[in-house]
Structure 1
Amino acid sequence: MNAPSSICLLRTSAIGDVTHVVPLVRTLQQAWPQTALTWIVGKLERKLVGDLPGVEFVTFDKAAGWAGLRAVRAALAGRRFDALLQMQVAMRSNLLSLAVKADRRIGYDRARAKDLHGLVINERIPARNGEHVLDAIGSFCEPLGLKQTQVRWDIPIPDEAHAWAAGQLPGDTPTVLVSPASSHALRNWRPERYAAVMDHAASRGWRVALIGGPSASERAMADAVLVACRHAPLDLTGKDTLKKLLALLARAQLLLGPDSGPMHMANSVGTRVLGLHAASNPDRSGPYSDRRWCVNKYDEAARKYLGRPATEIPWGSKIERPGVMDLIDVDAVVERYEAAARDLGLA
């Protein structure tokens, strides 16, 4: 088919999911370098991807409520796109999509659609079960006649972010970054268990650093971890920006943490991820490139809390129940840390 003259992508959040959109952007740019791409993205998320070359960004500030919707409508007034890729099914995003005038409005298949998603689209991606989120997002190019066969990020990292990260993590000491807090509190592991693994890594000669955002909940989690540590780690909580975090992750050998944005950022720069999965399925939302270092207790959680194995519950089900992360013990995480260290030649 002929290349579209313009495509609008709508995926405003969250950090991990926005990271998953970048390979789709690369696929579209490689196939159709002359096609104008416009991406409606969240205010915070734009700080991570807003300097992707060849993409126009329109910011949606969800905290602004209706004013945020009106701002997007004003920014797109008088414009029409050949296609809209509506990659977010929440009601707010479905409403937001009405600000986009497009001949082709491509959305999710019926099984993955919700919140009146079907009313704002006129085409659907192929219906598939068992896909990773990144592959589902990548399939949005298929109704346009393309296939995502390569996954490439190359999210720009400014020189000043690299310089800052080098100042925090100087030299070549093997480093594990620990991002203990998810925005979903029931995905968080116990602080004392993080501390036990961090102490083990420190005893093996690794540099250990805590990372996290500036929110009160992330600060409280970091403080609880610090209190439980026998070997004081470097505490970088609240000190970075998204670009600085990306640079930190690129300098580290391993990231330890739950299913959250930093996991996918680490994966995008090729850093191994020791993901902690019980509340969510790593095959759907774990680190895309390599899940060998993850601890996966999702099936055990399904059996305990839902009474069925993971193969018998709907794909993508969240098992965010109190105590679910306690299914992951320290020994299992230490074992994956040691396996990753051996693979790196650092055991």
Structure 2
Amino acid sequence: MTSTQAIQKICILRLSAIGDVCNALAVVQQLQQALPEADITWVCGKAEAHLLALFTNINVVIYDKRDGLRGLLCLKRQLKAQQFDVLWHMQAALRASLVSYCINAKRRIGFDRSRAKDGQWLFTNEKISPANSPHVLDGFLQFLNQLNIAPQPVKWHVPLSEQDRDYAKTLLNTDTKQLLICPAASKAYKNWTIEGYVGIALYALNQGYQVSLIGSPANNEMALSEQINQACKGRLSNLCGKTSLPQLWALIDQADILISPDTGPAHMAVAVNTPVLGLYAHHNPQRTGPYQYRHYVVSVWQQEIEKEQGKPASQLSWRSRVKNPDAMQLITLDAVIDMFETIKQEQQL
């Protein structure tokens, strides 16, 4: 392998999604610590660029998938003059691999064959070693090993602006414990039930928490949050759609607990050390769960995947997905309340 001293320009290719970009960010920050003089460019999606804009030591280049071939040609022109020493191709998807053709790099590092789905291995000339853990972030850490950089314990540095922190404070009562609920994932089948969200919200209110709903301005997220708040007779603070991504990150930073299904804000919370009570049914939380808070996940994935496949989970692929569209309804309110109490008690120690 080439000495790290010869590495001056590095391109990161991870287009989406918010949660995966947060996981990759922890690894990129370790890369920056090991190679402080290296110039880092990150090719990402439009929404993810708003998140990465906080990090002024990363050159952000946007590829909007809605632009299709025209966007690819534009990206190729934009990067034509740049020659990178290393490309980290961190997304095993055909669209991302097509984007990789726009990036000139001597070393094109991608996933090992077990993770290089959609033929990603055809677009790289080096493969990382398989990870010992199924988690997405542990897979990302192998990119460091490929550059002879020893991975360190995972942590993030998120440079939230004072302006965003101040805005978050105007939305929250800082004298009260704060529970944030992010009810909607990008895919509706990952959402818990309205009755469940209402039940845990009312329980937390009775425990003295201010309870706020968060999410993007997407119509489905706004509608779900409004339904939950109406069912709680307007006792919640409905902040859904009222924050930019950096403002949302500042809001999560000031919360005591976040309750969320498998979606981006859960991973944003991990990055600022806010405990996450994750709700999982379709995907293995040991693979996609909130990295530092997987022990707080309430999951029915194992029981459901074993029921569908007729085998122990240990004998199945870590990618195995529960197909039952109603699987999230199997998460009980009692289980969520019990985990909420566990988090509370551990915070008091």
Give the equivalent residue in structure 1 for 2:169.
166
| Alignment partner of 1:106 is 2:109 | yes
Cα distance in 2, alignment partners of residues 179 and 309 from structure 1: 31
* One-letter code aligned to 1:104: R
Cα distance in 1, alignment partners of residues 228 and 13 from structure 2: 37
In the TM superposition, residue 170 of structure 1 has moved relative to its aligned partner by: 2.7
* One-letter code aligned to 2:272: V
Give the equivalent residue in structure 1 for 2:25.
22
Q: Is the 8 A contact 2:181 2:213 kept in 1?
A: yes
Give the equivalent residue in structure 1 for 2:53.
50
Give the equivalent residue in structure 2 for 1:315.
318
- Map 1:113-152; keep pairs closer than 5 Å: 113-128=116-131, 130-152=133-155
Deviation string 1:241-289 (CA, Å, 9 cap, x unpaired) is 1011101101100000101000000111000000001111111111111
Give the equivalent residue in structure 1 for 2:293.
290
Task: Answer with 153-162 or 100-109: which moved more.
Answer: 153-162
* One-letter code aligned to 2:85: D
Deviation string 1:140-194 (CA, Å, 9 cap, x unpaired) is 1211111211323212212111111000003231011000000121111111111
Q: Detail structure 1 runs of 4+ shifted over 4 Å in the superposition.
A: none
Deviation string 1:84-104 (CA, Å, 9 cap, x unpaired) is 110011111000000011111
- Map 1:199-278; keep pairs closer than 5 Å: 199-230=202-233, 232-278=235-281
Task: Answer with 99-108 or 316-325: which moved more.
Answer: 316-325
Q: How big is the alpha-carbon RMSD for the aligned residues of Structure 1 and Structure 2?
A: 1.5
In the TM superposition, residue 57 of structure 1 has moved relative to its aligned partner by: 1.4
* One-letter code aligned to 2:305: A
Q: Among all aligned residue pairs of Structure 1 and Structure 2, give the percentage whose two residues are the same amino acid.
A: 38
* One-letter code aligned to 2:76: R
Give the equivalent residue in structure 1 for 2:34.
31
Give the equivalent residue in structure 2 for 1:7.
10
* One-letter code aligned to 1:249: I
Cα distance in 1, alignment partners of residues 132 and 345 from structure 2: 34
* One-letter code aligned to 1:307: G
Q: Is the 8 A contact 2:16 2:44 kept in 1?
A: yes
* One-letter code aligned to 1:70: L
Give the equivalent residue in structure 1 for 2:331.
328
In the TM superposition, residue 25 of structure 1 has moved relative to its aligned partner by: 1.6
Q: Is the 8 A contact 2:97 2:123 kept in 1?
A: yes
* One-letter code aligned to 1:272: P
In the TM superposition, residue 75 of structure 1 has moved relative to its aligned partner by: 1.3
Cα distance in 2, alignment partners of residues 320 and 70 from structure 1: 37
Cα distance in 1, alignment partners of residues 212 and 47 from structure 2: 24
TM-score (norm 2): 0.95
Which residue, out of 77, 81, 98, partners 1:78? 81
* One-letter code aligned to 2:84: F
- Map 1:175-186; keep pairs closer than 5 Å: 175-186=178-189
* One-letter code aligned to 2:175: D
Deviation string 1:202-225 (CA, Å, 9 cap, x unpaired) is 011111001111111111211221
Q: Any idea what SS the aligned residue of 1:65 has?
A: helix
Task: Answer with 264-273 or 167-176: which moved more.
Answer: 167-176
Cα distance in 1, alignment partners of residues 336 and 37 from structure 2: 47
Q: Which runs of 5+ in 1 are unaligned?
A: none
Q: Is the 8 A contact 1:129 1:315 kept in 2?
A: no
* One-letter code aligned to 1:310: A
TM-score (norm 1): 0.96
Q: Is the 8 A contact 2:22 2:268 kept in 1?
A: yes
* One-letter code aligned to 2:143: F
| Alignment partner of 1:196 is 2:199 | yes
Q: Which runs of 5+ in 2 are unaligned?
A: none
In the TM superposition, residue 198 of structure 1 has moved relative to its aligned partner by: 0.5
Q: Is the 8 A contact 1:49 1:155 kept in 2?
A: no
Q: Is the 8 A contact 2:41 2:61 kept in 1?
A: yes
Q: Any idea what SS the aligned residue of 1:112 has?
A: coil
Give the equivalent residue in structure 1 for 2:69.
66
Q: Is the 8 A contact 2:135 2:287 kept in 1?
A: yes
Count of matched residue pairs: 346
Cα distance in 2, alignment partners of residues 325 and 309 from structure 1: 20
In the TM superposition, residue 15 of structure 1 has moved relative to its aligned partner by: 0.1
